[in-house]
Amino acid sequence: MPVTIVIGSQWGDEGKGKIVDMLSDKIDIVARYQGGANAGHTICFDDKTFVLHLVPSGIFHKGVTCVIGNGVVIDPVALMEEVRTIRELGFEVDGRLLISHNAHLIMPYHKRIEEAIERARDDGAIGTTGRGIGPAYVDKFARTGIRVVDLLDRDVLRKKLTISIEQKNTVLQSVYGAEKLDVDAIIDEYVEFDKIIDPFVTDTTEFLCRSHAEGKRILAEGAQGSLLDVDFGTYPYVTSSHPTAGGCCTGLGLPPTAVDSVIGIVKAYSTRVGNGPFPTELSDGVGKHLASVGHEFGATTGRPRRCGWIDLVALNYASMINGFTELCITKLDVLSGLSEIKVCTGYRYNGKLSRRFPSEAETLTSVEPVYESFEGWSEDISDVKRVADLPATAVTYLRFLSEYLNVPINTVSTGPKRVETIVSASEGIGAVFSNSTNTVG
């Protein structure tokens, strides 16, 4: 059975949590492959809202095994808190949550260093989530990181931590003039995690490859969004991992040949949290409509998200690097009530029209978006279950997106609840809009 990757196509917060939760009905394993507790995956069911930061969104489906892969950086404090909450909600975690022994750990000094770096950047700050993600990946690639497997041997952990914290203290004090960390306090806290984390730790790569060979259905869950990828995103205003499709293989240890489909989650408009270029950003009444109707506040930090029109130049780029086999459009309901909807189809740069996405921040800051305009709709569409019952103008909008990107749209989300979703085929996912089959209209 194939592996399906679910990816955010924009700057994150596209609503992946809901879609992974929905798809979890039909799969055996959900595996998270990158990022850390910077992510916030929101899931609504039984009239309640849950936000997961580290544990994959499949955990609320009893038959699903959840994997935190080697590519994730784990904050043990945040993880244990999340596990406690999931248990309190009545969901079993033992035997259902597997953590890679090779995943790296976020330590208190990563957050402190990040804070100091962001402060020193001043106007050029990235606007990170403050979860220590960047410095943890720096340590991973500098080969000075602490891994989950290190927690299991107290003596090794003590030795590695002492060296690491002493080095960090030198940097914190001499470079950033920040306070020193208490070596003993950190060691005492972290050695306690071995007991708690031990039952979950395993060789997840071996588990995933074996499960794949046995025909289990695996869903690889990306966090953040493609335009925040450290290589392909709007560098340096990016996260420090690979939320794109390529990250799935290195972040889980599954071979590329195992991957069969890549679902791009696309919000019906654009948002960005943190700093960095955002060509279609709106600071007018429409921007305010999107922010307030879409409840656009970060699920992790509570920061207001910047809002703007959908950007097909950026999405075409995301589709190119991820190889989307289908799209899921989320938050279409948020556009209800707007008389006009704009779609960015090109950039004007140095007087010339271009359809290329310049991921380098300096150029992207200077482009002027070129829009096509569509008629809006006023109807509340949250109860709509079939494409045929959507307002004609909404159908035109969706068809345009699918045709421009040349990828079928198979799912349309019209509200945060599981039921507020249009899926075309009764057997799960079938094409709602497809260029080849043109199933609508």
Q: Which residues are catalytic?
A: 13, 41
The Cα-based distances of 29 to 2, 32, 63, 99, 145 in angstroms read: 12, 10, 9, 13, 28
Pick the closer one to ligand IMP by CB: 261 or 301.
301
Pick the closer one to ligand IMP by CB: 101 or 267.
267
Q: Which residue is nearest to ligand IMP (CB)?
A: 274
Residue with tokens 């997840």: 204
Determine phi and psi for 375, rounding to 5 degrees: -75, 140
Contact 14, 267 (CB under 8 A): yes
How far apart (Å, rounded) are the C-alpha atoms in residues 248 and 236? 22
Closest approach of Cβ 39 to ligand IMP, in Å? 4
Closest approach of Cβ 276 to ligand IMP, in Å? 6
Q: Is 13 an interacting residue with respect to ligand IMP (CB under 6 A)?
A: yes
Among 15, 69, 71, 134, binds ligand IMP (CB under 6 A): 134
For residues 285 to 324, the per-residue mask of contacts with ligand IMP, x marking binding by CB under 6 A and - elsewhere, is ----------------------------------------
For residues 363 to 392, the per-residue mask of contacts with ligand IMP, x marking binding by CB under 6 A and - elsewhere, is ------------------------------
Q: Is 133 an interacting residue with respect to ligand IMP (CB under 6 A)?
A: yes
Among 100, 169, 239, 402, binds ligand IMP (CB under 6 A): 239
Q: Is 224 an interacting residue with respect to ligand IMP (CB under 6 A)?
A: yes
Instruction: Choose among 50, 14, 32: nearest CA to 247.
Output: 32
- Please count the residues of this chain forming the interface with ligand IMP, following the rule CB under 6 A: 21
How far apart (Å, rounded) are the C-alpha atoms in residues 397 and 73? 38
Long-range contacts of residues 196-200, Cβ cutoff 8 Å, at least 24 apart: 196/76, 196/80, 197/76, 197/79, 197/80, 197/99, 197/148, 197/151, 198/151, 198/152, 199/94, 200/93, 200/97, 200/98, 200/99
Q: Is 9 an interacting residue with respect to ligand IMP (CB under 6 A)?
A: no
Among 128, 226, 359, 411, binds ligand IMP (CB under 6 A): 128
Among 9, 100, 129, 411, binds ligand IMP (CB under 6 A): 129
Stretch that binds ligand IMP, among 11-19, 65-73, 208-216, 426-434 (CB under 6 A): 11-19
Q: Is 157 an interacting residue with respect to ligand IMP (CB under 6 A)?
A: no
Q: Is 233 an interacting residue with respect to ligand IMP (CB under 6 A)?
A: no
Pick the closer one to ligand IMP by CB: 39 or 338.
39
Q: Is 39 an interacting residue with respect to ligand IMP (CB under 6 A)?
A: yes
The sign one gets for the Cα dihedral 312, 6, 41, 418 is: positive
Instruction: Choose among 367, 362, 369: nearest CA to 235.
Output: 362
Stretch that binds ligand IMP, among 8-16, 261-269, 383-391, 396-404 (CB under 6 A): 8-16
Pick the closer one to ligand IMP by CB: 30 or 338.
30
How far apart (Å, rounded) are the C-alpha atoms in residues 129 and 104? 18
Contact positions toward ligand IMP, by CB under 6 A?
11-13, 38-40, 126-129, 131, 133-134, 223-224, 228, 237, 239-240, 273-274
